[in-house]
Chain A
Amino acid sequence: MNVVYADNNATTQVAKKVLDEMLPYLETYYGNPSSMHTFGGQVAKNIAMAREQTAALLNASPEEILFTSCGTESDSTAIQAAIKSNPDRKHIVTTRVEHPAIKNICEHSAKNEFHVTYVPVDENGTLDLDYLYKNLTDDTAIASIMWANNETGVIFPVEEIAAKVKEKGIVFHTDAVQAVGKIPIDLKNTEIDMLSLSGHKIHAPKGIGALYVKKGTKFSPFLIGGHQEKGRRGGTENVASIIGLGTASELSKNLMEEENTRVKEMRDSLEKGLLERIDNAIVNGGKEKRLPNTTSIAFEYVEGEAILLMMDEFGICASSGSACTSGSLEPSHVLRAMGVPFTAAHGTIRFSLSTYNTMEEVNFIIEKLPPIIEKLRKMSPFWKKNQ
């Protein structure tokens, strides 16, 4: 069966070019970049190159890029670095819609004498900026605000927020795992202190990430060990994956245009096609400031896991905001923070495309999904009652 992969916010296919560039570092150049001999030492040059490529995607300097093992490590490192560098400050500001990588470390900190403010969003997923600014105090160690939401694709004005946060002398971090590669990012011209990204969302392998740390930002390592990454992250480098991330960054930079034209058109067609054919379907989150590849659609009166499994029969891959898929019992915290009613939250499906998708695939989804929803609605005790 053909796979129609529309779950690129979960992870992406490794680009052929990325794999080709990586393989020599698994087969031939297996030396340790810290070694004195040429065989190992030469690898350090290639890491430096990858650092430049990654920096270029963000318009940052190579010294500002720290390689980590994933987006989650980047997030934890950032929060922990800000807290340790500002020991007198016991307050964290973040949003109600963060990925668990931020949400859970904030909740964890809240257990250890930290006070956390979760900035709310409205029904469009728009952040309450007044609320955010009002809650910045002398006690605030860090404000961590995601750039783009992984479930809805809604983009926050982090450049503007960073400027305000910096005015108050507070460290600003953004989880840009979903934004990187999808929308242009120009860090030289922002006040952002730290930014997290993850390789596997931009066609590099899983298990590689990076943290941007602006020059002059107080830092404290999370993994303490050897002198790697200038002592900011101990551990022998994941060489092949770092090379992969560098290559993927370069590809991403070149594909940014396509992401915002062809991919966006496919996303729009998919959304339009489904809404035209299916009643009681609602897009979650405002459509204007949104990632070009993502759409989150609520199909009322049916349950997400059931939709996913029926799509699975056709090889269609997407994900859901419903409770049942995650093993938790409540629908996604993001949808709940937006006040999406239960009728809709449980039946929410997220489609996320990439440059690897085609219009044929989009049309395939548009053809297959309406009968699935109809079949499930016919089974649902709520459907007719609400018509």
Chain B
Amino acid sequence: MWEYTDKVKDHFLNPRNVGEIKDADGIGEVGSLACGDALKLTFKLDENKRIKDAQFQTFGCASAIASSSALTEMLKGLTLEEAEKISNENIAEYLGGLPKEKMHCSVLGRDALEKAIGSYRGESEKKIEGEIVCECFGVTDLEIKRVVAENGLINVEDVTDYVKAGGGCGKCHERIQEIINQINGIQIQPKKKEKALTNIQKIKLIQETLSREIQPALAKDGGDIELIDVDGNKVIVKLRGTCATCSKSELTLKNYVETKLRELVADSIEVEEVQ
């Protein structure tokens, strides 16, 4: 059970400003169904360029709804310069605090606000900048650096609470810790430990991963994969089809197979394609 403050409960059960402003001056949409929370924020300015109205639509848990509702209340009457200064901490404070694991809900609010202001100023949607660190939730190193610096975070768990990075498969924990150390100026030699698999176990696991995880995914797009040979850490495969409709379309087929095998078999796997 989460310990929500009365203010969170109030904003959840009686959310203020639900809806979408039709002729909005600024619109900010963040999150997705897959991530488990999403927020669409719209605002309208008055003749003095102060926020006259702000409305939200949120898909998410109680604290996501409460954070959105709180944000719209906080925004009313502010100039954009003032609104810009609202941080995720401010949203959490307005609600009398959020459970640590739910801080990402306040970050969602801040992100939507930033986007909405950007849209008003005619800034085109920023392309994803930086390098994706957490594949599960699509979080970049820049986003992680920002929450670490702004909120004084010191461990991976904190980062997960604030921006979700690391909350999925867990493969990126080491990288996140590196970023934290970098921001906090700590130098640590990275250590890597490989699962000890015998050759037979490895080959079996590769076969299994191909037939259980990869083949079905490729089959959805009319593709297929055939295992030709395994030579040390080199996995030689024959590939057919495209990955046009798959969610990871920015990756090539070969990259996709390699990522999956590294995730499920061993980090050192390399995929080689034969025609």
Chain A residues in contact with chain B, CB under 8 A?
Answer: 111, 113, 115, 117, 120, 131, 135, 301-306, 309-310, 313, 322-325, 327-331, 342-343, 346, 378-382
Chain B residues near A305: list those with CB within 8 A: 2, 61-62
Given contacts A303-B36, A310-B13, A342-B34, contact A379 B58 (CB under 8 A): yes
Our pick among B57, B205, B212 for the contact of A379 (Cβ within 8 Å) is B57
Chain A residues near B167: list those with CB within 8 A: 328-330
Chain A residues near B168: list those with CB within 8 A: 329-330
Given contacts A303-B60, A324-B60, A327-B101, contact A379 B208 (CB under 8 A): no
Are B36 and A323 in touch, CB under 8 angstroms?
A: yes
Our pick among A346, A378, A379 for the contact of B36 (Cβ within 8 Å) is A346
Chain B residues near A380: list those with CB within 8 A: 57-59
Are B212 and A303 in touch, CB under 8 angstroms?
A: no
Are B208 and A330 in touch, CB under 8 angstroms?
A: no
Q: How far is the CA of A302 from the CA of B61 in the complex (A)?
A: 9
Chain A residues near B196: list those with CB within 8 A: 113
Cβ of B210 within 8 Å of any chain A Cβ, yes or no, is no
Residue of B nearest to A327 (CB): B101
Cβ of B137 within 8 Å of any chain A Cβ, yes or no, is yes
Residue of B nearest to A110 (CB): B195
Interface residues on B, range: 35 or more
Are A301 and B33 in touch, CB under 8 angstroms?
A: yes
Nearest CB of B to A152, in Å = 20
Are B61 and A324 in touch, CB under 8 angstroms?
A: yes
Q: Which chain B residues (1-20) contact chain A, with CB distance < 8 Å? A: 2, 12-13, 15, 18, 20
Are B60 and A329 in touch, CB under 8 angstroms?
A: no
Chain A residues near B160: list those with CB within 8 A: 329
Nearest CB of A to B78, in Å = 23
The B interface, classified by DSSP as helix, strand, loop or mixed, is mixed
Residue of A nearest to B60 (CB): A303
Looking at B37-45, B86-94, B255-263, B267-275, the stretch in contact with chain A turns out to be B37-45
Chain B residues near A342: list those with CB within 8 A: 33-34, 36
Chain B residues near A346: list those with CB within 8 A: 33, 36
Residue of A nearest to B31 (CB): A381
Residue of A nearest to B39 (CB): A381
Are B212 and A306 in touch, CB under 8 angstroms?
A: no
Cβ of B65 within 8 Å of any chain A Cβ, yes or no, is yes
- 17 residue pairs A–B, Cβ–Cβ below 8 Å: A113-B196, A115-B201, A117-B208, A120-B212, A303-B60, A303-B61, A304-B61, A305-B62, A309-B62, A324-B61, A328-B167, A329-B164, A343-B33, A380-B58, A381-B20, A381-B40, A382-B59
Our pick among B38, B57, B60, B195 for the contact of A306 (Cβ within 8 Å) is B60
Given contacts A306-B12, A328-B167, A329-B164, contact A382 B38 (CB under 8 A): yes
Q: How far is the CA of A113 from the CA of B198 in the complex (A)?
A: 9
Residue of B nearest to A346 (CB): B36
Nearest CB of B to A238, in Å = 27
Q: How far is the CA of A278 from the CA of B160 in the complex (A)?
A: 34
Q: How far is the CA of A331 from the CA of B35 in the complex (A)?
A: 9
Given contacts A306-B12, A379-B65, A382-B33, contact A330 B136 (CB under 8 A): yes
Given contacts A303-B61, A324-B36, contact A378 B18 (CB under 8 A): yes
> A303-B61, A330-B167 are known contacts; what are 12 more A-B pairs with Cβ within 8 Å?
A113-B196, A115-B197, A120-B212, A303-B37, A306-B61, A323-B36, A324-B60, A329-B160, A330-B36, A342-B34, A380-B59, A381-B29
* Residue from the set A111, A313, A327, A378 with the largest chain B CB neighbour count within 10 Å: A327
Residue of B nearest to A313 (CB): B13
Are A322 and B38 in touch, CB under 8 angstroms?
A: no
Residue of A nearest to B196 (CB): A113
Q: How far is the CA of A365 from the CA of B137 in the complex (A)?
A: 34
Are A302 and B205 in touch, CB under 8 angstroms?
A: no
Are A379 and B61 in touch, CB under 8 angstroms?
A: no
Nearest CB of A to B263, in Å = 14
Chain A residues near B58: list those with CB within 8 A: 379-381
Q: How far is the CA of A327 from the CA of B13 in the complex (A)?
A: 21
Q: Which chain B residues (186-239) contact chain A, with CB distance < 8 Å? A: 195-197, 201, 204-205, 208, 212
Q: Mark B99-143, 1 if CB is under 8 A from A, else 0.
A: 001100000000000000000000000000000000011000000
Nearest CB of A to B254, in Å = 25
Q: How far is the CA of A227 from the CA of B112 in the complex (A)?
A: 63
Nearest CB of B to A357, in Å = 22
Are B137 and A329 in touch, CB under 8 angstroms?
A: yes
Nearest CB of B to A300, in Å = 9
Chain A residues near B12: list those with CB within 8 A: 306, 309
Q: How far is the CA of A310 from the CA of B13 in the complex (A)?
A: 7
Nearest CB of A to B242, in Å = 22
Our pick among A113, A304, A310, A381 for the contact of B57 (Cβ within 8 Å) is A381
Are B13 and A302 in touch, CB under 8 angstroms?
A: no
Chain B residues near A303: list those with CB within 8 A: 36-37, 59-61, 64
Given contacts A303-B37, A306-B65, contact A381 B13 (CB under 8 A): no
Q: Mark B53-73, 1 if CB is under 8 A from A, else 0.
A: 000011111101100000000
Residue of B nearest to A131 (CB): B212
Are A379 and B62 in touch, CB under 8 angstroms?
A: no
Nearest CB of B to A155, in Å = 23
Chain B residues near A306: list those with CB within 8 A: 12, 60-62, 65
Q: How far is the CA of A328 from the CA of B57 in the complex (A)?
A: 23
Q: How far is the CA of A306 from the CA of B102 in the complex (A)?
A: 13
Nearest CB of A to B144, in Å = 15
Chain A residues near B136: list those with CB within 8 A: 330
Chain A residues near B13: list those with CB within 8 A: 310, 313
Chain B residues near A325: list those with CB within 8 A: 61
Q: How far is the CA of A327 from the CA of B101 in the complex (A)?
A: 7
User: Which A-B residue pairs are the 3 nearest by beta carbons?
Assistant: A329-B167, A324-B61, A305-B61
Nearest CB of A to B189, in Å = 22
Are A329 and B36 in touch, CB under 8 angstroms?
A: yes
Residue of A nearest to B202 (CB): A115
